[in-house]
Structure 1
Amino acid sequence: MIDEAALNNAEWCQAMCAAHGRPGTFGPRAWTNARRTPLYYPDAVTLTDDASVRDVLDSIDREAPGATVKDSFARLDLAAEGFRPLFEARWIHRPGWLPPTETEAPAGTTWRAVGTPEGLLDWALAWSGGDADEAALFRAGLLTDPYTKIVAGYDAEGRIAGGAVLTDNWRLTGISNLFAAPGVDPAEVWAACLTQVDAGSPVVGYESGDDLPPALAVGFEELGPLRVWLAA
Structure 2
Amino acid sequence: MSCGRLSRVITDTDTEELLRAAVRNNAEWCAAVSGGGAFTADAWTSARRTPPYYPDGVTLTREAPAEALLAAMDTGSPGCSVKDSFAALDLAPAGFEVLFGAEWIHRPANAPAPAAAATALAWTRVADAGELAGWEAAWGGGEGTGLFHPGLLTPEIAFLAGRSADGRVLAGAAANRTGAVVGLSNVFTADGTPDDEAWAGALAAVAELWPGLPVVGYESGDDLDTALRHGFTPLGPLRIWLHTPQ
Whether the 8 Å contact between 1:30 and 1:51 is mirrored in structure 2 is yes
- Indicate conservation of the 8 Å contact 1:103/1:218, yes or no: no
Q: Structure 1 length normalisation: TM-score? A: 0.92
Question: Aligned letter for 1:194?
Answer: L
Runs of 4+ in 1 over 3 A off after TM superposition: 101-106
Pick closer, same or farther for the CA change 1:35–1:140 going to 2, 3 Å: same
| Aligned match of 1:128 | 140
Mark the CA change 1:122 to 1:219 in structure 2 (over 3 Å): closer, same or farther.
Answer: same
Q: Deviations over 1:130-169 (max 9, x none)?
A: 133xx321111111x3431111011110011200110111
Q: 1:5 aligns with which of 9, 22, 34?
A: 22
Residue 204 and residue 104 in structure 1: after superposition, are their counterparts in 2 closer, same or farther (change >3 A)? farther
Q: Secondary structure at the match of 2:205?
A: coil
1:1-232 to 2 correspondences below 5 Å: 1-18=18-35, 23-101=36-114, 105-107=118-120, 109-132=121-144, 135-143=145-153, 145-197=154-206, 198-232=210-244
Superposed displacement of residue 17, structure 1: 1.1
CA RMSD of superposed structures (Å) = 1.4
Tell me if the contact between 1:30 and 1:55 (Cα under 8 Å) persists in the aligned partners.
no
C-alpha change, 1:229 and 1:13, in structure 2 (3 Å) is: same
169-178 or 74-83: which moved more? Answer: 169-178
Q: Give a deviation string over 1:16-65, Cα, whole Å, max 9, x none.
A: 011xxxx1111001001111111111000001111121232111111221
Q: Relative to 1, partners in 2 of residues 1:40 and 1:104: Cα closer, same or farther, differing over 3 Å?
A: farther
2:101 aligned partner, one-letter code? E
Matching residue of 2:13: none
In the TM superposition, residue 102 of structure 1 has moved relative to its aligned partner by 5.8
Gaps of 5+ in 1: none
Distance in 1 between residues matched to 2:109 and 2:98, nearest whole Å: 33
Structure 2 length normalisation: TM-score? 0.87
Answer yes or no: is the 8 Å Cα contact 1:17–1:38 preserved in 2: yes
Q: Distance in 2 between the 1:195 and 1:30 partners?
A: 32
1: CA distance, partners of 2:117 / 2:224: 18
Total equivalences in the alignment: 224
Deviation string, structure 1 residues 156-210 (Cα, Å, up to 9, x no partner): 1001120011011131000011101232221221111111221111000111111
What is the SS of the residue equivalent to 2:89?
coil
Could you tell me the percent identity over the aligned residues?
49
Q: What amino acid is the match of 1:123?
A: W
Displacement of 1:4: 0.9
SS of 2:165's equivalent in the other structure is: coil
| Matched residue, 2:7 | none
